[in-house]
Amino acid sequence: MQTRQVIAWFFMILLLASCGSNAPVQSFSDTLTSGTIHISVDESFKPIIDSQIQVFESAFPQAKIITHYKSEADCIRDLQNDSIRMVIITRGLNKTEEKIMKDTLRYYPIQGTMAYDAIAVVVNNAAKDSIFDMADIRSMVKGTSGYKYKVVMDGLSATSIVRYAMDSLLKGQPFGSNVVAAPSSQGVIDYIASNKDAIGLVGVSWIGNREDATQLSFLNKVRIASLECVICRPTAYVKPYQANIATKRYPLVRSLQYVLKENYRGLGSGFVNFLTLERGQLIFRRAYLWPAKMAFDLRNANISQ
């Protein structure tokens, strides 16, 4: 009789424990290489992430990654959306954002850097100026420059390029009245192509790959400006080429990062593995970004005419 009572109490405790738990019971149909997931991606990385997904889905035909391109701030907000498994942005989560994911959403975010790209400064083909000091760029964004250019970005708030300009160029000061917004990165390029009195700031993955037919067509519309290399002695002016990104000779370098919201080894984990291992890193390299997870040699070369 006593044994039966102990067993009864044991099962009652288990029942109460399961009823008192708020943890949702979840079942997942995706694996590392199959299933369907939604991810949100900073719009300035669209060309390179499209390339990565195309190769990944070709290698794993049962996998489908549905991508939503939007501003960086919207991507971070999407982490609270149950349907979004992963975001790709230019920064890691801060302490407050991590706490929300851990305490409210019950996810321990997995995050890391995949590659480095740069913000390119583009000018109209007929523009007289295509070489700028960093002081020139800062004063143009502030609206205090002797150059009478409009500065075009992919939005006036929430985008990663706008945040970079606010944090790294303005240091908390307001934008000048000459700063205008285009609806997208391609919108920036189109605006500059039609206006000689404007410069644009755009992610280099939109315009830096000369082997991509679409990007070559963009380069027929605009020119990439050279910026002051602040670490070079003697002074030099450089473009956002791959080697200059790798060595930080180009001054407007930023990181490409992932934040994964997945408590098991699902398709999001499989895509992160792909991006950070050899195949994904080679795709970054071939797109003229600089891979963060694999070491590649930089060699000096002499070019004879």
pLDDT at position 294 over 90: no
| Segment 17-23 long-range contacts (CB within 8 Å, at least 24 positions apart) | 23/106
- Of the listed ranges 9-23, 33-47, 91-105, 168-182, the least confidently predicted one is 9-23
Cα dihedral sign, 164-77-266-104: positive
Report, as an integer, the average pLDDT of 82-89.
94
* Predicted pLDDT of residue 2: 52
Asked whether 45 and 88 are in contact (CB, 8 A), the reply is yes
User: Quick one: average pLDDT of 246-253?
Assistant: 96
Write down the pLDDT at residue 10: 43
Domains of the chain listed by start with CATH number: 35-116+254-291 (3.40.190.10), 117-252 (3.40.190.10)
Given the DSSP bridges, would you call strands 179-181 and 226-229 parallel, antiparallel or unpaired? unpaired
pTM of the model: 0.84
- Cβ-based burial of 258 (10 A; exposed 0-12, middle 13-18, buried ≥19): buried
Mean pLDDT (the chain, rounded)? 87
pLDDT of residue 271: 98
Amino acid in the structure at residue 64: K
The pLDDT value recorded for residue 18 is 42
End-to-end Cα distance, the chain: 99
Spatial separation of the C-alpha atoms in residues 273 and 78, rounded to whole Å:
22
Residue 197, classed as helix, strand or coil, is coil
Is residue 29 pLDDT above 90, yes or no? no
pLDDT band at 298 (very low <50, low <70, confident <90, very high): low
CA atoms within 13 A on the CB side of 285: 15
pLDDT of 216 > 60? The answer is yes
